Amino acid sequence: MITFTLSAILIIASISLPFTKSEPYEDKEALLDFIRNIHHSRSLNWDTNFPVCFLWTGVTCNSDNTRVVALRLPGMGLRGSIPSNTLSRLSSLQILSLRSNGISGDFPQDFSNLRNLTSLYLQSNKFTGSLPSDFSVWNSLTVLDLSGNRFNGSIPPSISSLNHLTSLNLSNNSLTGEIPDINIPSLQQINLTNNHLTGILPNSLMRYPSSAFSGNELSSQIAIPPATSAETPIPQPARKPRGKLTEPAILGIVLGGCVVSFAAIALLMICSYSRGKNDGGLPTTKTRLKKKKKKDIGGGDGKSNKLVFFEGCRLAFDLEDLLRASAEVLGKGSYGTTYKAALEDATTTVVVKRLKEVGVGKKEFEGQMEVVGGIKHENVCPLRAYYYSKDEKLMVYDFYDRGSVSVLLHGM
């Protein structure tokens, strides 16, 4: 018994003696205030008698043990809100991970004191309320993961002041409003999926895969820059197919490819008139339209080159006409280039979307075009025809002259 006590004393002494001098005393107090005021279901060895820098679970100090620089408490069963004026006193903190707990309440306002934060992991908790409005206070931040919470409100534009940020994850929250222009050259990864974001994707974010924005209510994945007046012929195909056309991408193309004009209101009326007849049933019209369904026009090199028209459209031209048309670039998006093409017959103007890097096979492409062509919605420009060959994929829409559909929808 005596030997045991003696050795215990020796062990404690040998552990604590060399370190007690250089304890970050105030940081230790802050940590104790934190843990005493939040529910945690897993026990922590945060004993006042133990040296904080050497024995406390999840705590890392700087090299001279004068400050706590990292706190990692993932999956500790923390519940309730973060008590104010506790962690915020760890002013040298660089890494804070409280991920995968059950922490609720608002984003702690006093975290604005943690000016040296480089990584903040608060994902998979139950935080509510809005994101902090001024992100500029954390200008060393490189990783910000707030995914899997219940944050609502909009994404503050100040997030773009984080000019060292490399990874931003706000997925699986309840964020609303438009995505601000987040133009951060260092940003490598962004994930805004599964929120309720609306509006158009800003140009600055188009370099990221569209999957980073899925699960929202964005009106377009592709915004069309203002039309240029430069007249260029549609260049001949050259690209190797690559990448994959996802369904949101196709919807994006449909919406993005839509350009609205007065001229085509007439066209639309013609189209809906004939569609109406089709529904109502003048037998003569019906047969004629039926014959017209999926009229295939050979483009010169056998079965692979076909311009496929959808039912109920009066457009009549072939691929040759289309390629000879004088084309004007309306916009370049991540899925390809959009042209306004005026056919030589001088009465027909269409919008042609030339898709690039589409790695899908003919069958799959056709299937997806049938889905897109089947969409009948007042805000979605109907797809009139498409074209598939190994090197070239085109989508043909009616031409409208009043900016993009999203402009009409959002009155900008």
Ligand X SMILES: *[C@@H]1O[C@H](CO)[C@@H](O)[C@H](O)[C@H]1NC(C)=O
Please name which of 394, 382, 384 lies closest in space to residue 314, comparing C-alpha atoms: 384
Q: How many CB atoms lie within 10 A of CB 234?
A: 19
Half-sphere exposure of residue 131: CA atoms within 13 angstroms, side-chain side: 23
Q: How many CA atoms lie within 13 A of 408 on its CB side?
A: 17
To ligand X, the closest distance from the beta carbon of 211 in angstroms equals 5
Q: Residue 267: in which H helix or E strand, if any?
A: helix 263-280
- What is the nearest approach in angstroms of ligand X to the Cβ of residue 212? 5
C-alpha Rg value of the chain to the nearest Å:
30
Name the residue among 149, 164, 155 with its Cα closest to residue 119: 164
Residue 76 or 383 with smaller CB distance to ligand X? 76
Residues lying near ligand X in the complex (CB under 6 A): 67, 91-92, 116, 123, 128-129, 147-148, 152-153, 167, 169, 171-172, 189, 191, 193-194, 211-212
Instruction: Pick between residue 202 and residue 215 the one whose CB is nearest to ligand X.
Output: 215
Cβ burial 282-309 (10 Å sphere, 16+ → b, else e):
eeeeeeebeebeebebebeeeeebbbbb
Query: What is the smallest separation between the CB atom of 254 and ligand X, expressed in angstroms?
Result: 22
* 353 annotated ligand binder: yes
CA distance 95 to 120: 6
Of the pair 65, 194, the CB lying nearest ligand X is at: 194
Nearer of residues 89 and 306 to ligand X, judged by Cβ: 89
Q: Considering beta carbons, is residue 116 or 136 the nearer one to ligand X?
A: 116
We find the least distance from the C-beta atom of residue 151 to ligand X, in angstroms, to be: 8
Q: How far is CA 230 from the centre of its chain?
A: 32
Q: Please answer whether residues 86 and 34 qualify as being in contact, where contact means their C-beta atoms are separated by less than 8 angstroms.
A: yes
Q: How far is the CB of 13 from ligand X (least distance, A)?
A: 31
Nearer to ligand X, 148 or 382 (CB): 148
**Range 317-324 contact pairs with CB under 8 angstroms and sequence separation of 24 or more:** 317/343, 317/345, 317/348, 319/387, 321/345, 322/234, 322/350, 322/352, 322/387, 322/394, 322/396, 323/234
What's the closest the beta carbon of residue 140 comes to ligand X, in angstroms? 7
